[in-house]
Structure 1
Amino acid sequence: MSKKVDGPLTQAAEALFKPFASEKLQLSNRVVMAPMTRAHSPNGVPGADVAAYYRRRAENGVGLIVTEGTIIDHPAGTGNPSVPSFHGEAPLEGWARVVAGVHEAGGKIVPQLWHVGMTRPNGSLPNPEAPSVGPSGLGLDGQKINEPLSVEEIESIVEAFGRAAAEAKRIGFDGIELHGAHGYLIDQFFWEQTNLRDDLYGGDLVSRTKFAADIVKACRSAVGEDFPIILRISQWKSGFYEAKLAKTPEELRQFLTPLVEAGVDIFHCSTRRFWEPEFAGSDLNLAGWVKKLTGKPTITVGSVGLDGEFNGAFRGQSSNVTEIGGLLERLEREEFDLVAVGRSLLADPSWAAKVRDGRFDELQPFKAEALQTLF
């Protein structure tokens, strides 16, 4: 049985289902499907089951779908051969079918372009001979594993992101998202614990943004001025939940400025719990602060509609449905512009339609088994 959620239909409909329009992206509502790794694409190729999985969300009223992380053209981009690729004929044909299905259902979709960096163990498939790479060759715990990336290797990865962006536009996606969060490669350049470089790509907070800024510029060059570029960022890292890239609003401003100048259109601000304040003295969350400091649209995310944060899912923990009144109030105040929904949508493809129609008593709780299934 799902737990009944009390909340006014008019508030949900008005806040979450008001159209969104920015300079480069127009959506029918404010509901975003958050990127969630599914690893249901053997040999990196998304099949008909993956296409149907995304289409179901579009059919049920999700305004924008952000795909699971997809791997750019680099041999150490992933350590899991079932994570989808975003290069090569067969994977891109699979993604073209995904796009077609979502568009036929009236939705919009962007791929999340990803490189996992040093979170990949050396020797991992599908390319065990390729060493894992990072700015300083360090794991998230700061221990040295491999040699730092050379400038030439950095430039080749930047070019690979640009090629992926061009392919996204070619096969009909509505924009791209770059995964710059959670301790993966781009975020490893951001974080002082994993980036000890003293060249152009490191040394201080602003210099540590150069890799991401170069990627944004390469993508912009590849897709033109009118194609939306979303950047996902987070303070926390996998296993390091108290980590901070920016400890104050002023540091956050310094961090964001080069990324805005490079061409980011929307920031996807990943937190574990959307209601938690980012800095003392203000109830603004990370998405709220980023919008305030940059003027750019932001996406909030983190345990939307559930009473437990997502890391528990990987320990086999379920989460119950909970009310979203506080979220709606923040959205109505325009603290942020869009709301990414993760596990609620993973377990219940009809989540958006049920909220839109006031069918709160039909919302499904999240069970950890949902991670194994493409509902």
Structure 2
Amino acid sequence: MLEKIFEPIKIGKLELKNRLVVPPMGMNYCNAEGTATERFIAYYEARAKGGWGLIITECYAVDQHGKPVKNMSGFWSDDQIESHAKLAERVHKHGGKIAVQLFHAGRQTGSHITGVQPIAPSPIKDPTLSETPHELTKAEIKELVEKFGDAALRVKKAGFDAVEIHGAHGYLIDQFLSPFSNKRTDEYGGTIINRTRFAVEIIENVRKKVGKDFPVLFRISTDEFVEGGLTIEDTKVIAKILEQSGIDAIHCSTGVYKTMQYVIPPAAVPHAFSVSLAAEIKKVVSIPVIAVGRINDPLIAESVLLSQKADLISMGRASLADPELPNKAKEGRLDDIIQCIGCVQGCAGRLFKGLDVRCLVNPLTGKENEFAVEPAKEKKKVFVAGGGIAGMESAIIAAKRGHEVHLYEKDDKLGGQWLLAAVPPSKAELNTFTIWQKNQMDKLGVHVHLNSELNEDIVENEKPDAVIIATGAKPIVPNIPGVNLPEVVLAQDVLAGKKDVGQSVVVVGGGLVGAETAAHLANHGKKVVIIEMLDDIVIDGEPTVKHFLLKDLQEHHVEIITSATVKEIKQGSVTIEKDHVIKEIGDVDNVVIAVGSKSENALSDKLQGKVEKIITVGDAIKVRKALEAVEEGYKAGLAV
């Protein structure tokens, strides 16, 4: 079933054992001075062990003022070679091949990070950022060309296998390539040849310093998806120029900061959405083409290669979710692969807040040494109360360590609130994690008790050594006159299929649950109004996820009323107050309540003194995101 992805391929003179690539992803694991930490090295080492054909590191800054986040790697100094040489050595120890991506952020950073004014081809600020950049002089451009070449030589000296030049995503080289950001009228602006000149000079400088046999890759945004930006027809011409300048492979991405939803696409974006753009590049070049774009399944990767749309496949967040994906795929263990669900909570969601990267479905990511699963010194009987994602994760880790694990779930199926989260549009992929967790528990011999709520009697009779409480949360019912009418239902009951609603629906609450429930109903032909107290909906949502959710609501004509409170619910109508004006919304068949949840944890107090160790995890402590719930479940499995 999977053959093409495991065929060897050459990039220049570098032979790769398969076609699967870990593309560059900023991790924020390095020291502020750009040197490698043990955490940084261990993260890449895990992917080398996992069997990837090529690992391309996060972007290394060629200048200390070219970083978009503080703890990013760099090769602007010879002093940085030693620590990064250890990274190359550790990857090679496991038979891996590793390239370094070199870049400068240009205008897509800020003085609060670098301490200096950003630079760009033209003094035009990025639409997503606040500072106007300094327009580079020709002399400064020449200096930067040398810095890229010098950094590439450091890559070679440190023992890496190749270098990739980052000309995508709106960073400095792309700022020159694109008319969206390049308004120059000298030899570096205007025509395609002029706008490509900076990239060509960098390639030539790199090649001069690393030699003709050292592989040089180039990453490009095939389409920036912005008005006045690069389109595929522009990029095909640029790709041909780059090939003639001496690159060995072209890595086809999309987007800039303004269109981040296509740089790091969430679940609302179709699988392999930009592969057709890579296929267009492949038509005009003879060097290998790497495709990317929400490819999270080896079967999809295989299909893309068989379609001859690309020569290699980048699977970025798939490699965060499961570094062992290639090994598992090669061994036919597809149901053991943890699939990326496109949530962007732990990766881009954290990185763009200046935090370190994690992964919702794999807490081991970035904590390879800290969270390693070791056999328990003493086998214990461990009970888990609650079969949501936090409870199942704790059961899996405890069982992996050799404990006898019993999981009790009061409902007739596993998954808890996560099952409901998978119902709205574009969210079905969440179910892959539930399926993976259930499979793992089955393989590990976890005793699952459905329709069984763990209580103090069971604990007193069975005498477990530890109890992990993962009882989750329950919906809040607000104190609104009329809330107990039969026409009023909870969002959770609607998503679970327990309650039907009529044609005209008012959703009370514009958080993620309310907005997604509204989208679900609107997609099924309902007329929906959202009422939210705050001045915006989904205020704590991931920006790229929110982008597509708002688009969906707009396309399905969902009315959104913000800064409003519900005063009363009547049969057939809802009374609201907005801007001190009372208004009645009529012809309402049902009102859906989605104003949040509260922790459900009555068990902890009841078990005090009855069991040696009690650990509470997830929403049972405090209602938060799934990222925290899964990590706490994982840690609880380590702690028992």
* Fold conserved between structures, TM > 0.5: yes
Confirm whether residue 78 of structure 1 aligns to residue 67 of structure 2: yes
Equivalent residue for 2:112, pick from 107, 124, 129: 124
Greater relative contact order (CA < 8 Å, ≥ 6 in sequence): 1
Aligned to 1:292: 283
Radius of gyration: which is bigger? 2
Q: Matched residue of 1:161: which SS?
A: helix
Q: Which of 342, 345, 356 is the matching residue for 2:330? A: 356
Q: Relative to 1, partners in 2 of residues 1:144 and 1:82: Cα closer, same or farther, differing over 3 Å?
A: closer
Q: Which residue of 1 aligns with 2:197?
A: 210
Contact residue 106 and residue 171 of structure 2 kept, 8 A: yes
- Kept in 1, the 8 Å contact 2:273–2:294? The answer is no
Shift of 1:357: 1.4
Q: Closer, same or farther in 2 for the Cα pair 1:252/1:45, shift >3 Å?
A: closer
Match of 2:211 among 201, 224, 232: 224
Whichever residue aligns with residue 160 of structure 1, its letter is K
**Contact in 2 for aligned 1:30/1:338 (Cα 8 Å):** yes
Residue 314 of structure 1: aligned partner: none
Equivalent of 1:245 in 225, 230, 233: 230
- The 5 Å alignment of 1:171-186 reads 171-186=158-173
Q: Distance in 1 between matches of 2:11 and 2:65?
A: 35
8 Å Cα contact 1:176-1:230 kept in structure 2: yes
Aligned to 2:42: 52
Does structure 1 conserve the Cα–Cα contact (< 8 Å) formed by 2:222 and 2:278?
no
Q: Can you list the C-alpha shifts for 1:4-25, whole angstroms capped at 9, x where unaligned?
A: xxxxxxx22x111111124422
SS of alignment partner, residue 124 of structure 1? helix
Deviation at residue 245 of structure 1 after TM alignment: 1.4
SS at 2:71 equivalent: coil
Q: For the residues of structure 2 that align with 1:144 and 1:198, how far apart are their CA atoms?
A: 22
CA separation of 1:253 and 1:333: change in aligned 2, threshold 3 A: same
1:198, distance to aligned residue in structure 2 (A) = 0.5
1:265 counterpart residue number: 248
3-state SS of the aligned residue for 1:42? coil
Task: State the alpha-carbon separation in 2 of the partners of residues 231 and 288 from structure 1.
Answer: 16
Shift of 1:141: 2.9
In 1, distance between residues paired with 2:228 and 2:321?
29
Cα distance, 1:146 vs. partner? 3.1
CA RMSD of aligned residues (A): 2.1
Deviations 1:115-155, CA, capped at 9 Å, x for gaps: 1110112x223x41x22100002223399813310000000
How far apart are 1:63 and its partner, in Å? 0.9
Asked whether the equivalents of residues 220 and 250 of structure 2 are also in contact (C-alpha less than 8 Å), the reply is: yes
Check whether the contact 2:118–2:134 (CA below 8 A) recurs between aligned residues. Answer: no
2:7 partner amino acid: K
The alignment of Structure 1 onto Structure 2 pairs a total of residues equal to 333
Q: Deviations over 1:131-189 (max 9, x none)?
A: 21000022233998133100000000000000011111111111100110010000000
Q: 1:194 aligns with which of 181, 204, 219?
A: 181
188-197 or 328-337, larger mean C-alpha shift: 328-337
Deviation (angstroms), 1:228: 0.6
CA distance in 1 between counterparts of 2:154 and 2:303 reads: 38
Q: Which amino acid aligns with 1:104?
A: K
Counterpart secondary structure, 1:259: helix
Write the distance in 2 (CA, Å) between the matches of 1:359 and 1:40: 31
Counterpart of 2:320 (choices 339, 346, 359) is 346
Runs of 5+ unmatched residues, structure 2: 255-261, 263-269, 348-356, 359-364, 369-640
CA contact (8 A) 1:235 1:243 kept: no
User: What is the CA deviation profile of residues 3-47 of structure 1, one whole-angstrom value per residue up to 9, with x for unaligned ones?
Assistant: xxxxxxxx22x1111111244221011111011100111222211
Which one is further off, 365-374 or 34-43? Answer: 365-374
Say which SS state the counterpart of residue 250 (structure 2) adopts. strand
Greater alpha carbon shift after TM alignment, 100-109 vs 87-96: 87-96
87, 90, 93: which one aligns with 1:101: 90
1:361 offset after TM fit, Å? 1.2
1:275 maps to 272
Normalising by structure 1, we get a TM-score of 0.83
Matches within 5 A, 1:86-165: 86-121=75-110, 123-125=111-113, 127-128=114-115, 130-141=116-127, 145-165=132-152
Structure showing the higher strand proportion among its residues? 2
- Return closer, same or farther for 1:241/1:37 CA change in 2, 3 Å cut-off: farther
Deviation at 1:78, TM superposition (A): 1.1
Give secondary structure in 2 for the equivalent of 1:182.
coil
**Who is 1:315 aligned against?**
none
1:350, distance to aligned residue in structure 2 (A): 1.0
Taking the aligned partners of 1:218 and 1:103, their CA distance within structure 2 comes to 27
2:32 aligned with 1:32, yes or no? no
Amino acid at match of 1:195: N
> In the alignment, what sits opposite 2:604?
none
Seen in structure 2, the aligned counterparts of structure 1 residues 252 and 116 have a Cα distance that, compared at 3 Å, is closer
Q: Please, which moves more after superposition, 100-109 or 22-31?
A: 22-31
Task: Report how far residue 294 of structure 1 moved.
Answer: 1.1
State the alpha-carbon separation in 1 of the partners of residues 302 and 68 from structure 2: 38
Give me the identity figure in percent.
35
Q: In structure 1, what is the Cα distance between the partners aligned to 2:204 and 2:8?
A: 29
Check whether the contact 2:179–2:229 (CA below 8 A) recurs between aligned residues: no
Q: Does 1:235 align with 2:222?
A: yes
Q: SS at the partner of 1:119? A: coil
Deviation, structure 1 residue 365: 3.6
CA separation of 1:93 and 1:21: change in aligned 2, threshold 3 A: same
Match of 1:313 in 2: none
Secondary structure of the residue aligned to 2:82 is helix
